Amino acid sequence: MKYPIDMHTHTIASGHAYTTLLENAKYASEIGIEILGTTDHAPSMQGSPHIWYFDNYKALPRKIYGVTMLYGSEANIIDYDGNLDLPEDLQERLDIMIASMHDPIMKPNCDRDLNTRAILKAMDNKNVHIIGHSGNPTFPIHEEALVKKAKEKNILIEINNSSFVRSRIGSDKTCAKIARLCKENGVRIILDSDAHSCFRIGNFDAAIKVLKDIDMPEELIINRSTKEFMEFLTKEKGKVIEER
Ligand SMILES: [Zn+2]
Ligand SMILES: [Zn+2]
């Protein structure tokens, strides 16, 4: 597996995904994923779990079927001040935090200034490691401001495979632009499947094609190295990923 990390996946707990945590881990193990992020939607998304779901991850082992599990959430940006829908002390305890804008948690609008403000403010939150599917045309932004802020705050920009094949139609142009800006500014990106069933885990084919088209340097794709990714979390972000 060239890119043995998938940090954005959902389980049945999200309410609109179809496989369990165990099924996801098993499938990941079979295809050669070494580190799997399980990042169910945080509570303001319809059908998503109560905060206790995220608070009780300690019930789970660090490795399942030989795959290192990182327990986190795809939190919703809930306002233009960049607030998220998980309590701060819980955010701190999660292994991995993605922040994303979703319809209908935020009303779709074409005001680039406002959307950008929401994301940039969320990036001031030290618990945010990844900005999810920021190329979504439902929430147009100033892409350059996003990438510069990612550089300043050392946050990974996600290139989300599902944005090209399943949802968020029209993301491809914006995602290519964001990736190109990341290349120009030396900002690392992360490939994510955003799988809502195990069968899409580790599939980054469409995202890789976009990166190929802009000749993205390999060293800016953090999925290529489990060592670099774990150092990003532990050394650069100060996370303690304890053995269990
Ligand atoms: Zn999302
Ligand atoms: Zn997602």
Q: Which ligand is nearest to the CA of 10?
A: 2
Q: 82-116 pLDDT, tens per residue?
A: 999 999 999 999 999 999 999 999 999 999 999 99
Residue type, 193: S
Nearest Cα neighbor of 36 from 205, 219, 200 is 200
The answer to whether 98 and 7 have CB atoms below 8 angstroms apart is yes
Contact call for residues 71 and 36 (beta carbons, < 8 A): no
**Cα 6 to averaged position of ligand 1 atoms, centre (Å):** 14
Angstrom CA distances, 43 to 120, 123, 235, stand at: 22, 20, 29
Rounded distance from Cα 151 to ligand 2 centre (Å) = 23
Ligand nearest to the CA of 100: 1
Q: What does the block give as tokens for 109?
A: 């609008």
More confident residue, 231 or 244: 231
Q: How far is the CA of 132 from the centre of ligand 1 (A)?
A: 6
Which DSSP state fits 234?
I
Confidence of residue 167 (pLDDT cuts 50, 70, 90): confident
- Tokens 């030290």 map to which residue? 126
pLDDT at 170 over 90: no
- Specify the pTM: 0.98
Q: Token pair for residue 91?
A: 């955010």
Q: How many angstroms is it from 134 CA to the middle of ligand 1?
A: 9
Q: Measuring CA to CA, which residue among 36, 124, 43 is closest to residue 90?
A: 43
- Dist. CA 131 → ligand 1 center (Å): 10
Query: Which ligand approaches the C-alpha of residue 105 most closely?
Result: 1
pLDDT at 166 over 80: no
| In the block, residue with structure tokens 């650069």 | 236
Which ligand minimizes its atom distance to the CA of 99?
A: 1
- What is the per-residue pLDDT across 37-95, written as a single tens digit (0 to 9) for each? 999 999 999 999 999 999 999 999 999 999 999 999 999 999 999 999 999 999 999 99
Categorise residue 61: left if φ over 0, alpha if ψ from -120 to 50, beta otherwise.
beta
Q: Tell me how many degrees the CA angle 189-156-239 measures, rounded to the nearest 5.
A: 135
- Interval between CA 154 and ligand 1 midpoint (Å): 21
